[in-house]
Structure 1
């Protein structure tokens, strides 16, 4: 089997999942060859003028390697994580080569950019891939919309949550000694990702006399974002703290201390944010919007999802006040959320194992 995937570097949601997917199928005995379709050796140029020409040259090399592989291994299975947006222009060439040389395609979808609204570019890609292609999606919502928009039979679509690639936090929940609710927001801090809503929640909690501590984590690159963070930390210095970008154990420590992870994203192409699972592994309650697959994710893990409207911040603040009054953040409740995470994850892992079995079988299942 051949995997045409973007691997870190650069690090982003899809490349992280691609690496985890590769490691898992190899552990399960799948003989997987890999062509890294992103120029990781030039990651320092990511986001600059030079990235695009470097990627074009790299893609030509990848296509030659793909051609050589398929000539030696005809009718092989080929797995491709497709891009969202203009990045699909590169996918056209990879999938066309695979189709022409008789490969059996699996396409993994990670973006809602062509799910929220019809895309001529993806419709063209779907025609190139052909009707025998198996599509892998993140959730039931994505499955139904993909089928409806592009006339893909439901029996050619597999649902595979990224939850299967996470492990539980290995530390015990903290004891019931806190006198304030602890909430957090972690992202590449932008208004699209919901920073402004999180800040408004903080102001509302303060007005409601709710005892709380709020931690904002992640890089700030936009001047307006920086100004908002500075303003709220000045206005509520005892309650709101900005702690910057976090990695590794620092990120684990951040999630471990939280009672609630708040992710009120408005990002139009949001799919299945990995930060939700990162927080849930430590037993934090999830609160967020209903973009992409988020409602299914949050509800399945015992959290609370909200429609985006003018009352969003007020609704979240009201929920947090009520949850605190009902002792929803006591240790036994945190343990219950951790148990729920484990149950839901077992189902995701079973789905992944079924997919791996399909990769290893002598034919592509039609069921």
Structure 2
């Protein structure tokens, strides 16, 4: 008889890494055909703009989530609870209530982390107390061994499973053969947030421009703490108006076009909560060499000198140097891009992710 699993996870909208993975799990044929599944959406904000606003609406949604969970535990009596856990802050407190509710029913629970930050709060007395309660007799899924340090104080590694994210395949007919652009095209695809490396990258591009190196760079994504007005002013200040372009948000076929015309993908992030950027998997899928940083599980995705370069965070000169190498060396770009695509196909397809997740759930 198939085991019953209750999944508490984030589903879009809004669209972000955790909600995309939640949707992949909810739609997974292998998981739904192997277990009796029920799903509860943990999201209390339905749009990006709503985050940090509408507290009454969020409270009501959260109470509904707690009630739905209690009803599932009481009526359906699942064999396992899966919870996409928030590592710190108010989100952690909300999730901790649900974990403690599950523990009252003495049911096995597995916590799946798409973020990090436990180690930054473990010296706080109240947080430390909650972490001890939450992690006691609990299994944990992490995206990479690079992230184990975050929960090391509370969880023995024997109770940890590793499951890298995966993304759906694109129609290979839509992927154009990598051609050598006369002027190499760089691509930054993320929201315009300073900690994602937006300003750092612009300053690195200024260095390249002053050296007379020929390039263009497209920035794709929604506005964040760097608005399009601030971005435009920065381009004037750094004299990059003829080399750098902000294209706004791009989805589906429009995003495919952007990847296809690009030569190098750049994400010089120093975002403290960065764990496993799905956009690096997308870049790999299109065979783009990547220049990014040592943060979270990024060193698992990008091996320095093999499928891209890893640079020190906020090191403008190092970033400029690595970009210059790739801009000037087409055979190297091509070799790293091929390696990036091969690694994606070997490790980061959605099919591999689903198989890994099934094996973990089945094992627990």
> What is the TM-score of this pair, normalised by structure 2?
0.87
Query: Are positions 1:318 and 2:321 aligned together?
Result: yes
Whether contact under 8 Å (2:307, 2:337) holds in the other structure is: no
**What is the aligned partner in structure 2 of residue 201 from structure 1?**
204
Secondary structure, aligned partner of 2:222? coil
2:41: which partner in 1?
Answer: 36
- The aligned residue for residue 64 of structure 1 is 67
1:217 and 1:245 in contact (8 A); partners too: yes
Counterparts of 1:221-300 in structure 2, within 5 Å, are: 221-222=224-225, 226-232=229-235, 235-299=239-303
> For each residue in 1:319-356, what CA deviation from the matched residue of structure 2 results, as whole angstroms up to 9, or x when unmatched?
2222333324665653443223212336x855652441
Task: Return closer, same or farther for 1:45/1:145 CA change in 2, 3 Å cut-off.
Answer: closer
Query: What's the TM-score, normalizing by structure 1?
Result: 0.86
Alignment of 1:15-30 (within 5 A): 15-24=19-28, 25-26=30-31, 29-30=34-35
In structure 2, distance between residues paired with 1:338 and 1:76: 38
Cα displacement (A) at 1:357: 3.1
Superposed CA deviations along residues 284-342 of structure 1, whole A, max 9, x for unmatched, are: 11111111111222218711111225xx2222222222233332466565344322321
Task: Please name the residue that 2:8 is paired with.
Answer: 4
Q: Secondary structure at the match of 2:82?
A: strand
Superposed displacement of residue 237, structure 1: 3.3
Within 2, Cα distance between the matches of 1:342 and 1:189?
Answer: 29
Give the drift of 1:360.
3.6
Q: Aligned runs of 1:86-105 on 2, under 5 Å? A: 86-105=90-109
Name the CA distance, whole Å, in 1 between partners of 2:184 and 2:24. Answer: 34
Distance 1:294 1:250, change over 3 A: same
For these two proteins, the number of residue pairs brought into alignment is 354
Instruction: Map Cα deviations across residues 115-144 of structure 1 (whole Å, 9 max, x no partner).
Output: 456364654443333533110011111124
Structure 1 range deviating more: 173-182 or 226-235? 226-235
> Following TM superposition, by how much is the alpha carbon of 1:207 offset from its aligned partner in structure 2, in angstroms?
1.5
Distance 1:302 1:27, change over 3 A: farther
Instruction: Identify which range, 271-280 or 192-201, moves more after superposition.
Output: 271-280
**How far apart, CA to CA, are the structure 2 residues paired with 1:184 and 1:330?**
14
Is the CA contact 1:141–1:292 (under 8 Å) kept in the aligned structure 2? yes
**Aligned equivalents of 1:330, 1:271: Cα separation in 2:** 25
Gapped regions of structure 1 (runs ≥ 5): none
User: Which of 70, 74, 88 does residue 77 from structure 2 map onto?
Assistant: 74
Q: Aligned residue for 1:165?
A: 167
Shift of 1:33: 0.2
Counterparts of 1:106-125 in structure 2 under 5 Å? 106-115=110-119, 118=122, 120=124, 123-125=128-130
Which ranges of 4 or more aligned residues in structure 1 deviate by more than 6 Å? Answer: none
SS in 1 for 2:255: helix
Structure 2: how far apart are the matches of 1:122 and 1:273? 27
Q: CA deviation at 1:185?
A: 0.9
